[in-house]
Amino acid sequence: MTASEKRDRPRGGNWTRRGVIGGLLGAPILFVAACSGDKDTPSGGTGAGAGGTGATDASPSPELSIAKITVVPADGTTAAPFDQPVKVTVADGILQSVTVTGGNGKKIVGQLGLDGTSWTSTDPLASGTKYTVAVVALDKKQREADANTVFGTASPANTFVGYFTPEDGTTVGVGMPVSINFNKAITDRAAVQSAITVVAEPGVEIVGHWFSSTRLDFRPETYWAKGTKVTLKLRLKDVQGAKGVYGTQSKDVGFTVGRSQVSVADLKADTLTVTTDGQVTATYPVIGGAPDHTTWAGKMVISEQYKETRMNSATVGLGSEYDIPDVPHAQRLTTSGTFIHGNYWSPASQFGNANTSHGCIALRDVQGAGDPTTNAAKFYASSIIGDVVEVVNSGDRTVDPANGLNGWNMPWAQWKAGSAV
C-alpha cells in the first residue's frame, strides 16, 4: 500500500488520516490540543444582544484531543537497551508522524502498524547515544495530540575490538591478506563476519576464513593484482560477538597493492630468486635451515621489517643456543620465528653452499646494517610488507596457514569452508 493510499483510507468511523509516518525526535511529553468549536459562533468581543442588554459573548473553551500517546523507552530514560526497538502507540487515535533522531542527526527508520496505532523502529539503535522522539496523532474529531520525549541508550559493559592488518593508507605486496585479531573470543561468528566487508577495485571474490575464535582473515583465491585498491569496512559497533559482549568499531580502512614481487628460496640450490612484475630482478646465494632445524616450506608473507633486531633462541624454544642482539635487515615470515635476514657471522663460503641456520633464511650482510650494497640490504630495500617468499626443497613440511599471514597455503575450497557466512 502506498503512502497516499494509507492517507485516504477510512479508519475507525468516517475519519481519515492527514499525514504520513516519518522518522523520530524529543523533550518532555506534551499533549497540545488544536482549537475547535462552532464555526458560526464568534470567537470573542462585545456586542448588543437581541434584547439590547449589551451582554458580552464568552469564547468557547477549546476541546482537548482524547488521543493518548505512549513512547517506549519512556521520556528521561538514561540507560535504555540499545538492542531493543523504539515503540510508539496511540489509544483513541491514529498516528500521523513519528520522528526519531540520534545525536548525530541520523533519523531512525521504522514501520507503521496496519491499523495506524503503532510504530516500531527497524533501524538498530546505537549504544551510548541520546535520541529525541516527536510524535503527532489525531483523534476521531481530527484534534491533534503531540508527544516529545528524550532518552539515552546504555553503553555496553563488555566490549570487543578487532586489531587489523594492514594499516590504513599503506601500500603492500600482492600476498597481504586482511587479518583481524579480536581481543575477546567470538561465539557468534556469523554476526561478526556479516558486519565486516572487504571490497577491491578492480573487483574480485574475497572470502573470510576463521582460524580461531579470535582471528578472521580475508583474501581472494590468488594473489592480489598489482594496483588493486582494497577497503576494509568494519561495522562492528553494537554487534554482539558473544553473550553480553558487543563491538565498538565503525570505520573504513583502505590500502593499495603495489608492484608484484614474489621470491623463491630454493634450499637445495641455496638461492633466492626475486621476480618483480614478472621479471627476474635478482638472484642471491642464501643459507637455509640445517638438517636438524629445517626451514618451513610453502608460501610465506613478509609481515614485519626491522633494520636491526635481537634474536634469542630462548624465545623460540631452543634454549640458549644463540642470542644475537643486532641481526641486520630482518623480515618476519612466521609468527613462530622464521625470518629472512642478514647474516654477518657466518663465513662467506657458506652462502649458496650450506644450510646451517636454525630455520631462518640468511643473506650475506655486515654488522650494523650500514652497507647498502650487501645482498641482505638490497633485498630488504626492494621488499615491502605483504611480499611473498616461497620456500621450496627445504626438507620440511608446509607451514601452517595460521602461522603468520600464510593462508595462501590452504586450498581455496578449504578456505571458503572456514567462512561463517
Residue-wise pLDDT tens digits, 318-338: 776 778 899 999 999 999 999
**Is 341 found in the same domain as 278?**
yes
**Among 195, 225, 257, residue at a domain's last position:** 257
**Is 175 found in the same domain as 135?**
no
| Inter-residue long-range contacts of 395-398, CB under 8 Å, 24+ positions, other chains counted | 395/267, 395/289, 395/291, 395/294, 396/289, 396/294, 396/295, 396/296, 396/297, 397/296, 397/297, 398/296, 398/297, 398/298
Active site residue 329: no
Residue 56 covered by a domain: no
Number of domains comprising the chain: 3
**Is 7 found in the same domain as 79?**
yes
Residue 421 covered by a domain: no
Which pairing describes strands 245-247 and 339-343: parallel, antiparallel, or unpaired? Answer: unpaired
Residue 417 covered by a domain: no
pLDDT at residue number 267: 97
- CATH number of the structural domain spanning residue 251: 2.60.40.3710
With pLDDT > 70 as the criterion, what percentage of the chain qualifies?
85
50 or 380, which is more confident? Answer: 380
Structural domain for 90, as ranges: 3-35+63-152
The amino acid at residue 87 is K
**Is 401 found in the same domain as 343?**
yes
Exposed e or buried b for every residue in 239-277, given b needs 16+ CB within 10 A?
A: bbbbeebbbbbeeebebebbebbbbbbbbeebebbbebe
Residue 307 covered by a domain: yes
**Contact indicator for 272, 354 with CB cutoff of 8 Å:** no
Active site residue 358: no
pLDDT at residue number 15: 36
**Contact indicator for 333, 389 with CB cutoff of 8 Å:** yes
Instruction: Kindly tell me if the per-residue pLDDT of 277 is higher than 60.
Output: yes
**Contact indicator for 150, 27 with CB cutoff of 8 Å:** yes
**Among 102, 133, 152, residue at a domain's last position:** 152
Residue 280 covered by a domain: yes
Calculate mean pLDDT across residues 364-368. Answer: 97
pLDDT one-digit tens code per residue, 141-161:
999 999 999 999 999 999 999
171 or 31, which is more confident? Answer: 171
Residue 420 covered by a domain: no
Residue 46 covered by a domain: no
pLDDT at residue number 103: 86
- CATH number of the structural domain spanning residue 143: 2.60.40.3780
How much is the pTM? 0.78
The phi, psi pair for 51, rounded to 5°, reads -90, 5
**Contact indicator for 95, 135 with CB cutoff of 8 Å:** yes
**Contact indicator for 60, 38 with CB cutoff of 8 Å:** yes
**Is 120 found in the same domain as 204?**
no
**Among 229, 257, 285, residue at a domain's last position:** 257
The amino acid at residue 277 is D
The phi, psi pair for 130, rounded to 5°, reads -90, 135
What is the 3 state secondary structure string of the chain? CCHHHHHHCEECCCEECCCCCCCECCCCCCCCCCCCCCCCCCCCCECCCCCCCCCECCCCCCCCCCCEEEEECCCCCCCECCCCCCEEEEECCEEEEEEEEECCCCECCEEECCCCCEEEECCCCCCCCEEEEEEEEECCCCCEEEEEEEEEECCCCEEECEEEECCCCCEECCCCCEEEEECCCCCCHHHHHHCEEEEEECCCCCEEEEEECCEEEEECCCCCCCCCEEEEEEECECCEEECCEEECCEEEEEEEECCCEEEEEECCCCEEEEEECCEEEEEEECECECCCCCCCEEEEECCEEEEEEEEEHHHHCCCCCCEEEEEEEEEECCCCCCEEEEECCCCHHHCCCCCCECCCEEEECCCCCCCCCCHHHHHHHHCCCCCEEEEECCCCCECCCCCCCCHHHCCHHHHHHCCCC
**Is 389 found in the same domain as 320?**
yes
The cell numbers describing 118, all together, are 503503532
**Is 209 found in the same domain as 91?**
no
Confidence band for 59, pLDDT divided at 50, 70 and 90: low
Looking from the CA of 33 toward its CB, the CA atoms found within 13 Å total 10
Give the Cα separation of 30 and 146 in Å (integer).
6
Angle formed at CA 373 by CA 369 and CA 377, multiple of 5 degrees: 45
pLDDT one-digit tens code per residue, 34-52:
333 333 333 333 333 333 3
**Is 249 found in the same domain as 164?**
yes
**Is 291 found in the same domain as 213?**
no
**Is 338 found in the same domain as 253?**
no
**Contact indicator for 141, 159 with CB cutoff of 8 Å:** no
Annotated active-site residue in 209, 329, 341, 358: 341
Instruction: Kindly tell me if the per-residue pLDDT of 7 is higher than 60.
Output: no
Calculate mean pLDDT across residues 24-40. Answer: 36
Give the Cα separation of 276 and 278 in Å (integer).
5
Annotated active-site residue in 209, 329, 358, 360: 360
What value does the mean pLDDT of the chain take? Answer: 87
pLDDT at residue number 125: 94
pLDDT at residue number 311: 86
pLDDT one-digit tens code per residue, 99-123:
999 988 999 999 999 999 999 999 9
- CATH number of the structural domain spanning residue 324: 2.40.440.10
**Is 243 found in the same domain as 267?**
no
Give the Cα separation of 157 and 418 in Å (integer).
30
**Is 378 found in the same domain as 287?**
yes
Residue 169 covered by a domain: yes
